[in-house]
Structure 1
Amino acid sequence: MTDAALADDQAVRLRNKVIDDLVAAGTIVSPAIEAAMRRVPREAFAPEAELSAVYHPWNGLVTKRDADGRSLSSLSAPQAQAHMLEQARIEPGMTVLEVGSGGMNAAYLAELVGPSGRVVTVDIDEFVTMRASRFLAEAGYADVRVVLADAKAGVPRFAPYDRALVTLGTWDIPPAWRDQLVEGGRLVVPLQVMGLMRTVAFEKAGDLLVSDSSKLFGFVPMQGAGAHDSVELALAGGAVTLIFDEGAPADPAALDGVFDTEPFVVDSGAGLRMGEPWATMQMWLATTVPGFCRLRVDHDLNEAAARPLPGATVGCAVVEGGSVAYVATRQLDGDDLTLDVHAYGPDAAGLAETVVEQLRVWDRDHRGGPGPRYLVLPAGTPDTELPAADRVINKIHSRVVLSWPRPAHSASDQDIAHQPFPR
């Protein structure tokens, strides 16, 4: 057997192993998606990469970086692609828009819509679209329309679309993505809210987008007119950075020296087991506590600091005036972890208690649950037309309304805001 034949045989074995694992994990449930992912040669869209990296089930593969080493384009992990395809509910004959190209996912879409359907993939980067066009043609998917454009405007030339899949992390939802969908069409998008990204599946209902599922995944950020820069506030000599996607402090100087004092520490009583995801905990705090931000610690600088931050942080914090509180894990016996709140500043005790209270609500009502429901409305929607919700996030083109489903074991009047959105 030639080297090329051996490589082809290894690629097929790895491809089938990945799909078998995703089926066993329940990520792939549709026979059509399983068949499509078995047919498309993933290695054809990253010929420069090792097969072991191409077929890693949980890791994406970066195909382009900027001068600072940040990822600009990538092939999403098979797990993430399979989940988004399941969320999209694509059927033969549909017209599908993909925002963010690369070729791999467009090939899956082409398999799913079949010869009677149409796939359009758009990207702002000519390097990406040229690669996608070449790889799609070589793999037998030359009918996919590859468009070089700023995806914020969608691709009106081929609209309307039955489905739109966004494979780039986005902070906002441009009106074109909604307007170019048919009524009842589905938009699947990695949406960033308060710095936390979830792949959310929406259904179009007039000028509304109503979510019916979401999943925690990371994607490279959108470029062009839809790009969004976070506000980063470095503290403690650069050992700690607070990252605000929304609601940056009006007076950052109030936090100068905030970590120079002893922390006020409270055991919340809420906990986790080792390996248990805490994504809903972070989103619950982002939804319920004003001043939420992400927290990044430079471990080398922190260890060298005169007063290093204690505890294994979970990457989120809350700011109020000149005070800061962050959540950290502390291991108990066995695999049990408890969540401590470390607070600093003039109102450390009050802020710690606010965060602790919400951690206890999360632990009691939402731990292990599905997370929030999303409703996206046009930016000009008046407050009087918004449904009851836990949080409203105002962006440039949209108002994102977050509400948590009512806990199954609770029916108090306070839980009314956690009911699903009306359809």
Structure 2
Amino acid sequence: MTAVNDSTVRDPDAWRADMVRALRDQDAITSEPVGAAFAAVPRHRFAPDTPLDIAYDLHRTVPVKKDEHGLDISVMSAAHLQAVMLEQADIEPGMKVLEIGSGGYNAALIQELVGSKGAVTTVDIDRDIVDRARRCLDDAGYDQVKTVLADGEAGVPDGAPYDRIIVTVAAWDIPPSWINELGEKGRLVVPLTVRGTTRSIAFDRDREGLVSHSYRLARFVPMQGEGAAKERKALLRDGVAVQTDDEGIPFNTKALNHALDTPRREFWSGAAYDLPDELELYLTVHLSSAARLHASKDIVDSGLVEASALLGVPALVSEDSIAYRTRRENEDTGGFESGVVAHGLQAEALADEYLKLLRRWAQDHRRRGAATIRFLPGPAPSTPPQNTVLKRHGVVTVSWH
């Protein structure tokens, strides 16, 4: 009997209806307007060469363009993440919206939300991406969306002020143009990267700059052009790397690689392991010398590095030592207990700092939305507040309550 590919038999409308139901079930869609937009826009028309089961998969991206090394530099974001960000944006009919980073599909969703009396502009630095977005938008019947070829770092001043600015690439900083082009009661939704950790943050204005309304876990391809991040990445050995955007973090590649060959030491906090995305944000901001440790599946399978490093884990590094988070089953802490794996001459000292943070977070901040994130534009203060991360155009501060 010949196998039948369900993706070629089922009607696209059925795939789309299933996607919308699943997005509602997973609380990615929480409002009727966003649900209606996802039900209306034919996602597959923006991924014409992609099988329907992939195009309508909640959590899969659709590659659009790769660089010379085969790495994705433009993708159609996963539907789940797009829904979360549109809910964060809280777009209303008649609004003017700027999207930074074009793909076409998200702009069509926004056009559905603003309606015939609203206006949507989408900008991208890559002509291939803009041309593709234009073709897909026209093909799907969204010719009213304006496409612009430009570096998104400067926004699109001709259409300002905007009620909403939505950034669909990972941004290391918030340039003055985005704030200047935002209306007085506007909202900026941006995947902001802080020490290698990216969160989609919905920022509203306050007297000092921007303050978070909400934040959610996000992964995006990085911004290109003037706003590109200057990250440092060190390959310790095949399959193991550390990265950071902080120039003050010591990266002695040879010494850190040697540390991995020293005996592995485990330390346990006695504190609950839970809500890893919230914990990760807390650790990233509070660790005194924070980096991210990445390891391949082969390395994890060999037992050298824990599985927490597969997608990157906050690490505390010194000149010759490294410590990072792990977990183990423990019913006394509600199912899992957080701990630290450390290597090198300073293993105990690094683990001690890390354990104190794990305990403090579990005791005082183990819940969703406990952080308030602010962006303060302009020069850094002479005495920066606690938990401050310096950027080119301002500073990011994070406080927990």
User: Contact 1:379 / 1:394 at 8 angstroms: preserved in 2?
Assistant: no
> 1:333-364 CA distances to partner (integer Å, 9 max, x unpaired)?
79933322122233221211110111111122
Query: Which secondary structure state, in structure 2, belongs to the residue aligned with residue 317 of structure 1?
Result: strand
Match of 1:97 in 2: 98
One-letter code aligned to 1:300:
D
The correspondence for 2:314, drawn from 313, 316, 328, is 316
Residue of structure 1 equivalent to 2:341? 342
TM-score between both structures, scaled by the size of structure 2: 0.91
1:398 alignment partner, one of 390, 394, 399:
394
Paired amino acid for 2:13: V
Tell me if the contact between 1:322 and 1:345 (Cα under 8 Å) persists in the aligned partners: yes
RMSD, aligned α-carbons: 2.3
Partner of 1:289: 287
Q: Which moved more, 1:345-354 or 1:90-99?
A: 345-354
Report the equivalent of 1:329: 327
Consecutive unaligned residues of structure 1, counting only runs of 5 or more, are: 1-5, 406-423
Moved over 6 A (4+): 6-9
Match of 1:59 in 2: 60
Contact 1:312 1:330 survives alignment (8 Å): no
Counterpart CA distance in 2 for 1:75 and 1:239 is 27
Residue 188 of structure 1 aligns to a residue whose secondary structure is: strand
Paired residue total: 390
**Other-structure match for 2:369:** 370
Deviation for aligned residue 1:66: 1.4
User: 1:310 Cα deviation (Å)?
Assistant: 5.1
Q: Call closer, same or farther: CA 1:248–1:68 in 2, change over 3 Å.
A: farther
Q: Could you tell me how far 1:392 is from its partner in structure 2?
A: 0.4
Alignment check: 8 A CA contact 2:124 2:130 kept: yes
Alignment partners' CA distance in 1, 2:260 and 2:104: 47
Query: CA separation in 2, counterparts of 1:8 and 1:32?
Result: 29
Amino acid of the structure 1 residue aligned with 2:337: T
1:183 equivalent in structure 2: 184
Identify the residue that residue 212 of structure 1 maps to in structure 2: 213
Match of 1:28? Answer: 29
Q: How does 1:234-273 map to 2 (within 5 A)?
A: 234-235=235-236, 237-250=237-250, 252=252, 255=256, 257-272=258-273
State the partner residue of 1:359: 358
Q: Would you say the 8 A contact 2:170–2:193 is kept in 1?
A: yes
Instruction: Name the aligned partner's letter for residue 34 of structure 1.
Output: G
Distance 1:119 1:232, change over 3 A: same
Look up the SS of the partner of 1:112 in the other structure.
Answer: helix
* SS of aligned partner of 1:218: coil
Instruction: Please say if residues 380 and 390 of structure 2, whose CA atoms lie closer than 8 Å, have aligned partners that are also in contact.
Output: no
The code of the aligned residue for 2:374 comes to L
**Which of 268, 276, 279 is matched with 1:278 structurally?**
276
8 Å CA contact retained: 1:264, 1:352 = no
Q: After TM superposition, give the deviation of residue 369 of structure 1 in Å.
A: 2.5
What SS does the corresponding residue of 1:134 show, helix, strand or coil?
Answer: helix
1:421 aligns with none
Tell me the SS of whatever aligns to 2:221.
coil
The question of whether the paired residues in 2 share the 8 Å contact of 1:379 and 1:395 is answered with: no
The whole-number CA distance in structure 2 between the counterparts of 1:128 and 1:400 is 31
Gaps of 5+ in 2: 1-6
Residue 301 of structure 1, CA deviation? 5.3
Distance apart, 1:67 and its partner CA: 2.0
**What TM-score do the two structures reach when normalised by structure 1?**
0.86
Amino acid at match of 2:73: L
- 1:16 corresponds to which residue? 17
Match for 2:395: what amino acid? R
Shift of the 23–302 alpha-carbon distance from structure 1 to 2, 3 Å rule, reads: closer
Per the alignment, do residues 258 and 147 of structure 1 end up closer, same or farther by CA in structure 2, a change over 3 Å counting? same
- Secondary structure at 1:27 match in 2: coil
CA 1:399–1:280 in structure 2 vs 1: closer, same or farther (change >3 Å)? same
Partner of 2:219: helix, strand, or coil? coil
SS of match in other structure, 1:327: strand
Quote the residue 1:3 is aligned against: none
Deviations 1:252-308 (A, max 9, x none): 265462223223321122333xxx64111221111211111110123435767xxx6
What is the deviation of 1:248? 4.7
Aligned to 1:408: none
Does the CA-based 8 Å contact 2:250-2:317 persist in structure 1?
no
Relative distance call for 1:256 and 1:33 in structure 2 (3 A) is closer
Give 1:9 shift. 6.3
For the pair 1:164 / 2:165, whether they are aligned, the reply is yes
Name 2:3's counterpart in structure 1: none
